[in-house]
Amino acid sequence: TKVLLTGGSGFIAAHCLEQLLAKNHTVVTTVRTDAKRQAILDAYPDAVAASRLDVHIVPDIAQLDAFNQVLQVPGLQAVLHTASPFHFHWSDPQTELIDPAVNGTTGILQAIHAHGKDVRRVVVTSSFAAILDETKFADPTHTFTEASWNPSTVENIHDSKPTAYRVSKTLAERAAWDFVDREKPAFDLVTVCPPLVFGPVVHHLATLENINTSNERIVTLLKGGWKDKIPDTGAVPLWVDVRDVARAHVVAMGKKELGGQRLFTTPGCMSHREIVDIVRRKFPEFKDRLPAESVQGGERPKDSEMFSYDVSKTDKLLGIEWIGLEKSIGDLVESLKGKGI
């Protein structure tokens, strides 16, 4: 299959790229700068030589016509749209978060509809952020499923930074489903809704300084930042390994019967305390930077004090055997050692 993958420089997208190339697909990916383009080309010389990898520069996905040019590439059959801001280093949530998330999604769908005549399947990386309801976090009688939608709106973007991010993902995913309903394009849609994603960094652009948001806390732990207190796990302890998220995208790209589905991908809950225990057990060399065994904190909410969730539909649709926390954190720490932690 000839696939367009947006945001190829990202944590999740780098694993999508790796898996797509390993399965002999042909990939066109987009990044924002020439340096990122070159780093990806340098990482896959064989795929480049075989004309199975090309990288285009799309500098600003907030522009609705940003993807028009890359959609001129002939023969694209599927699109994985992962690019969207996931960080908290912004000052204006509307222009720096909502616009790239929503216009990026609407813009790519418009471009595919107008120019991508062979595209049959579009997979959009959404998030558990588009499923959750902040008012139900502590309510065990409330069950989140693939059918749940975050009720927050653009009015909430100044409430807090996490809320603004969650709104960006919700509006972007809604825009995607609305587009398909309204325009009845030749392609169908699958969305992937992962909670917090951990796992090894394979992207050649990652450094300890610019580590992706969801792995940031592990870097902090390994640098000694949790020595005196293990931070609260927070109200949303669901997680998933990055390789499984990428696998969900690749499966979603190829399985006809997944058209129209939202995939809520998670093996379950983690806690900061479990993460500390895993690192302590597997990496004695970090002993001096870890909290002593007597240090408190890092528990996750008790089942009786947190929301419920049911992902049985996704589990059945995907048939993925989820990677466990021990392996995910272990492989992440190994990959960070390669970055000089």
Residues of this chain that interact with ligand NDP (CB under 6 A) are 7, 9-13, 32, 60-61, 82-86, 100, 125, 127, 169, 194, 196-197, 212, 214
- Comparing CB distances to ligand NDP, the nearer of 88 and 138 is 88
- Comparing CB distances to ligand NDP, the nearer of 13 and 276 is 13
Question: CB of residue 215 vs ligand NDP: minimum separation in angstroms?
Answer: 8
Question: CB of residue 290 vs ligand NDP: minimum separation in angstroms?
Answer: 23
Q: Is the dihedral of CA 336, 211, 24, 243 positive or negative?
A: positive
Question: CB of residue 119 vs ligand NDP: minimum separation in angstroms?
Answer: 19
Total residues found in the chain within this entry: 341
- Comparing CB distances to ligand NDP, the nearer of 248 and 290 is 248
Residue 132 CA to residue 127 CA, distance in Å, equals 9
- What ranges in 11-136 are assigned the alpha helix state H? 11-22, 34-43, 45-49, 93, 99-115
- Comparing CB distances to ligand NDP, the nearer of 140 and 146 is 146
Which two structure tokens, joined as six digits, stand for 224? 């000694």
Which residue, 31, 81, 76, 38, is CA-closest to 58?
31
- Comparing CB distances to ligand NDP, the nearer of 197 and 291 is 197
Question: CB of residue 168 vs ligand NDP: minimum separation in angstroms?
Answer: 8
Which two structure tokens, joined as six digits, stand for 210? 């610019």
Question: CB of residue 7 vs ligand NDP: minimum separation in angstroms?
Answer: 3
Which two structure tokens, joined as six digits, stand for 303? 């089942």
158, 211 contact by CB (below 8 A): no
Question: CB of residue 18 vs ligand NDP: minimum separation in angstroms?
Answer: 13
Which two structure tokens, joined as six digits, stand for 76? 């694209």
Residue whose beta carbon is closest to ligand NDP: 10
Q: Which residues pair with 221 in a beta bridge?
A: none
- Comparing CB distances to ligand NDP, the nearer of 26 and 212 is 212
Residue 28 CA to residue 254 CA, distance in Å, equals 17
Q: What are phi and psi of 135, to 5 degrees?
A: -80, -5
What DSSP designation does 300 have?
P
